[in-house]
Amino acid sequence: MFPDLTRDDVFRIETRRLWLRWPNAKDVSAIVTLAGEREVAEMTAHIPYPLDRRTVDEFLIQARGANSGGTGLTLALARREAPGSLIGLIGIAGAEGTPHLGYWLGRPWWENGLMSEAAAGLVHAFFAYAGGERLTATTSPENRASQRVIAKTGFRWAERRSTPCPARGGPRQLDWFGLDRAEWAERKATRAPAPDLALAS
């Protein structure tokens, strides 16, 4: 799904305020702390609460394997002035079905437009460099911030369905959204310049 360009762990996407880079073992503590907050976990469909280090270790091994194999791309979000300090994660997975965008951001950085910036960068990479044709995303109906991210990135609402939720110990209702290449290309023609992709140590 993703090209050789993204399969090296020195790959990164640079936006105005962020570096999106491969996650690594040094990020484990920040992930456990930030994603382990109930308010963060409950806004996602897949983060369990409580979140433990072993679960994060296993996730990172799987994510880095998918990155290197090109079957997905999970990137750590870090502010440009502190590229080693993770503040969230964003990724696209699902090589066997329709690729799916997922993300979370640590609570101290909410309400600053950072996730919209990160999502725009990764979605651009998916369509422009990975040859993607369609991308899906989900959010809970009550998660207004995530709905704003999805809308700003160009996704359109498709349906509402019940989905298992580890953080809540049972199913929950999620809104599903879709974005295809033609819609992305139309938006790209009238939006800001694309983010920089980089291979650098």
- Determine if the peptide bond prior to 50 is cis (ω within 30°): yes
Tokens linked to 149: 């991210």
Are 8 and 190 in contact by the 8 Å Cβ rule? The answer is no
Give the 3-state DSSP-derived string for the chain, with helices as H, strands as E and coil as C: CCCHHHCCCCEEEECCCEEEECCCHHHHHHHHHHHCCHHHHCCCCCCCCCCCHHHHHHHHHHHHHHHHHCCCEEEEEEECCCCCCEEEEEEEECCCCCCEEEEEECHHHCCCCHHHHHHHHHHHHHHHHCCCCEEEEEECCCCHHHHHHHHHHCCEEEEEEEEEECCCCEEEEEEEEEEEHHHHHHHHCCCCCCCEEEECC
For the four alpha carbons of 100, 25, 49 and 105, in that order, the dihedral sign comes to: negative
pLDDT in tens, the chain (201 residues): 999 999 999 999 999 999 999 999 999 999 999 999 999 998 988 899 999 999 999 999 999 999 999 999 999 999 999 999 999 999 999 866 899 999 999 999 999 999 999 999 999 999 999 999 999 999 999 999 999 999 999 999 999 998 877 666 778 899 999 999 999 999 888 876 777 776 543
Q: Where are the domains of the chain?
A: 4-199
Taking the C-alpha atoms of residue 76 and residue 184, their distance in angstroms, rounded to an integer, is 23
Task: Say what the pLDDT of residue 197 is.
Answer: 73
pLDDT of residue 59: 97
Residue that the structure tokens 């199913």 belong to: 171
Distance of CA 104 to the CA centre of its chain: 7
pTM above 0.75, yes or no: yes
Q: What is the CATH number of domain 4-199?
A: 3.40.630.30
pLDDT of residue 194: 73
Per-residue pLDDT, 200:
46
What is the predicted pLDDT for the residue at 46? 87
